[in-house]
Structure 1
Amino acid sequence: MTSGHPAGTDTVEPSAQDGSRAMRLASRLIGFLPTKKNLNGTDWVNAKYPSRTYPSMAAIPWTFRQTHTIQEKRIDGVRTITVRPLLGATRSHIIYTHGGIYINEFGRPHWWIIAELTKRTGAAVTVPLYRLAPESTYREAFPYLVSVYRDVLVTANPEDVTLMGDSAGGALAIAQPWAFRDAGLPAPGRVVAFSPWLDVTGTNPEIPKYDAVDPMLSVPGGVQAGLWWSDGDDPRTPLVSPACAPADLLATVPVTRIYQGTRDVCMADATVFRDRAVAAGADVTLKVYPGGFHVFPAFPRLPESRDVYTDIAAFLGRPALP
């Protein structure tokens, strides 16, 4: 790392100069895309999403089909996909909930993440294509996710199940065990979250300093999406904003790893969640990557991403690749 901050340390201040040369270049390229600079305010979400045609997920890459078995089924009427590597399969089973501020579909970079996860861990990966806002809400998503978990438990032991996700999907990964407990199901073995979006209200006073160096995200648009997702309920409810959960719930969080970059507005609430969960007695580790942008592990060739996937493989009990 060029800044002197080691990868995966505790909280550090955001800086555009931190991170590997590859990370800095990727951040600069993202800054040129029509993302954050064209997404100020909420006009763009209000104009695009309420009247849209419901989106489809990114197609499964043909190369992926050469190296994995693909199983599709309907669970509670919702398309659900499970992929398994043809070589090097293990007992691990990952349930991966995708990000997209609850309003965007499963995209091509999510396949890049899943391909790297199966290569590194040998795990089967189930992808629940939960219904998006504004067409649907968290009230419909969690019963479906409970059904998905129940289906996975038919062939997997709970201790072999890892809940994973990025951004909004990272929040779903962290919150799902609370819904599982209410449904009388055993807790999964562990949770992994990439840049989780843990408080949809966007009120953390630390957010502006990360927003100043974040090349990607727009806070007002995310807040509007969070309001659609909570659909009139308090957006600070734990299933929507896990960072706001009471201590008794936080104490039940399974062993958790969060991978977070400092050029990401989600960093502020990831720190709050970690601090509150640890204070409540949970085993939550926040690994911070200086200069990392939102969900940077979607680009597996970055040096920081390679470090993340090596750590995940060890976390799931799989030796590192040579």
Structure 2
Amino acid sequence: MNKGYGIDQQTLKAMAGNLKDSVVELTQCGEHLSRQAMLVSLSLQLSGLKRQLSTSTGRAKLLQTAGRTPFGVPRSVHLTSSVTKKRFAGRPVMVLNAQPGPQPVVLALYGGAYVLAPTKVHWQFYDRLAQTSGAQVWVPDYPHLPGATVDQALAYLHRLYAALYDQTPVSQITLLGDSAGGGLAASLTEELVTQGLPVPGHLVLLSPWLDLHLTNPALPAYARRDVLLDQAGLQALGAKFAGGRSAVNYRVAPLRGPLNGMRDVQLFVGTKELMCLDTIEFANRLASEDVPAQLVIGRGLYHAYPLYATPEGQAALLAMAKTIKGEVKHD
């Protein structure tokens, strides 16, 4: 991420605390972290993103560099799936694993605080997901900061989704998103519900950012344990992306939006991350509306843990693939 930051004493102290917690879980808990997951957690802390998000100067640099990275699979990343470059409404879309004949379709919305491009980890995850599920995976460069707000992003994604369901039965479409992309996926589905339009057969959310303003008063305790995200920094970026919309509007806070009419929802979240409480609250609201849903909580795990090629991430991937293929029905 930001290579200009060194590792100061505060960061080292926090890393030591996180390592101690991980070792305790590894040795004392019935369902402990794998060694691979422990290493991912430490690498996320070393990325420097949390520190960069925590300062106005760091956020300004993120906004200045947003969009400069060409959208697409980096040359250094080698995928098993075929990759087709398309354009939709003037913006690039990458399609992984397009095959002749009928296929499930996944519309994948990447996270990155609405400023970062999809990472190497994202592309590798989309590749594994395509290979495991047999689906086409569509990854659009949706409008984001600094030049767009949630209104422009949802308008674009609504058009793209409509183009997909013109060609594919909605029962075969999965809308998937991680973090910021998960919030957009939830908002888009709620918009379809509100307008009485066909909703995707499946909605899969990985550590979704369900409230741009992060207003739950209990979040600071989770923010301290999150090795990647800074609450105040995300609140600042979230306010920009909200574009002046009310904090209770479903586009800004799908956590509190209309749910009755959704078809099938699968959620994944870790316990050591900022998005944990809101994801659990969202799952409880789905249950109260009798929406078929499954909540998978990764004990001791970090933000968007299913993206990573760890034993815990692989288990989540297999569960997602079954959802995408329609092999399971959630209660």
- 1:81 partner SS: strand
Which residue number in structure 2 is paired with residue 314 of structure 1? 322
Structure 2: distance between partners of 1:66 and 1:115: 7
Structure 2: distance between partners of 1:42 and 1:299: 29
Alpha-carbon deviation of 1:255?
Answer: 0.9
The change in CA–CA distance for 1:90 and 1:214 in structure 2 (over 3 A counts) is farther
1:23 lines up with 2:31 in the alignment: no
Alpha-carbon deviation of 1:138?
Answer: 1.0
Structure 2: distance between partners of 1:156 and 1:41: 44
Structure 1: distance between partners of 2:240 and 2:262: 26
- 1:293 partner SS: coil
Structure 1: distance between partners of 2:216 and 2:93: 34
Structure 2: distance between partners of 1:86 and 1:244: 38
Equivalent pair of 1:92/1:123 in contact (CA under 8 Å): yes
Which residue number in structure 1 is paired with residue 281 of structure 2? 272
Q: Spell out, residue by residue over 1:257-284, the C-alpha distance to the aligned partner (whole angstroms, 9 max, x if none).
A: 1111111111111111111221122222
Unaligned runs of 5+ in 1: 7-17
1:295 to 296, 301, 304: 304
Which residue number in structure 1 is paired with residue 135 of structure 2? 123
1:4 lines up with 2:29 in the alignment: yes
Extract structure 1 runs of 4+ deviating beyond 6 A: none
Alpha-carbon deviation of 1:230?
Answer: 0.8
**Percent of pairs with identical residues:** 25
2:73 to 60, 63, 66: 60
Q: RCO (CA 8 Å, sep 6+): is it higher in 1 or 2?
A: 1
Equivalent pair of 2:115/2:146 in contact (CA under 8 Å): yes
Structure 2: distance between partners of 1:80 and 1:29: 29
The change in CA–CA distance for 1:188 and 1:22 in structure 2 (over 3 A counts) is same
Unaligned runs of 5+ in 2: 1-24
Task: Using the TM superposition, name which of 54-63 and 269-278 deviates more.
Answer: 54-63
Structure 2: distance between partners of 1:66 and 1:294: 26
The change in CA–CA distance for 1:201 and 1:190 in structure 2 (over 3 A counts) is same
Letter in 1 for 2:212: V
Aligned pairs for 1:109-188 within 5 A: 109-181=121-193, 185-188=197-200
Q: Spell out, residue by residue over 1:209-255, the C-alpha distance to the aligned partner (whole angstroms, 9 max, x if none).
A: 2222211101111011111111111133112221122xxx1222331
Q: Spell out, residue by residue over 1:169-200, the C-alpha distance to the aligned partner (whole angstroms, 9 max, x if none).
A: 01111221233345553111011111111111
Residues matched between the structures, number: 302
Which residue number in structure 2 is paired with residue 33 of structure 1? 47
Which residue number in structure 2 is paired with residue 304 of structure 1? 312
1:256 lines up with 2:265 in the alignment: yes
Which residue number in structure 2 is paired with residue 70 of structure 1? 84
Structure 2: distance between partners of 1:5 and 1:207: 26
Letter in 1 for 2:216: N
Which residue number in structure 2 is paired with residue 285 of structure 1? 294
The normalised TM-score by structure 2 is: 0.83
Which residue number in structure 1 is paired with residue 221 of structure 2? 209
Letter in 2 for 1:216: L
Structure 2: distance between partners of 1:108 and 1:262: 24
- 1:185 partner SS: coil
Which residue number in structure 1 is paired with residue 3 of structure 2? none
The change in CA–CA distance for 1:220 and 1:148 in structure 2 (over 3 A counts) is same
Equivalent pair of 2:286/2:293 in contact (CA under 8 Å): yes
The change in CA–CA distance for 1:59 and 1:91 in structure 2 (over 3 A counts) is closer
1:239 lines up with 2:264 in the alignment: no
Task: Using the TM superposition, name which of 172-181 and 121-130 deviates more.
Answer: 172-181
Q: Spell out, residue by residue over 1:51-110, the C-alpha distance to the aligned partner (whole angstroms, 9 max, x if none).
A: 5563334532556566414141232x22222222569x8621000011111122222221
Structure 1: distance between partners of 2:284 and 2:208: 15
Structure 2: distance between partners of 1:38 and 1:70: 34
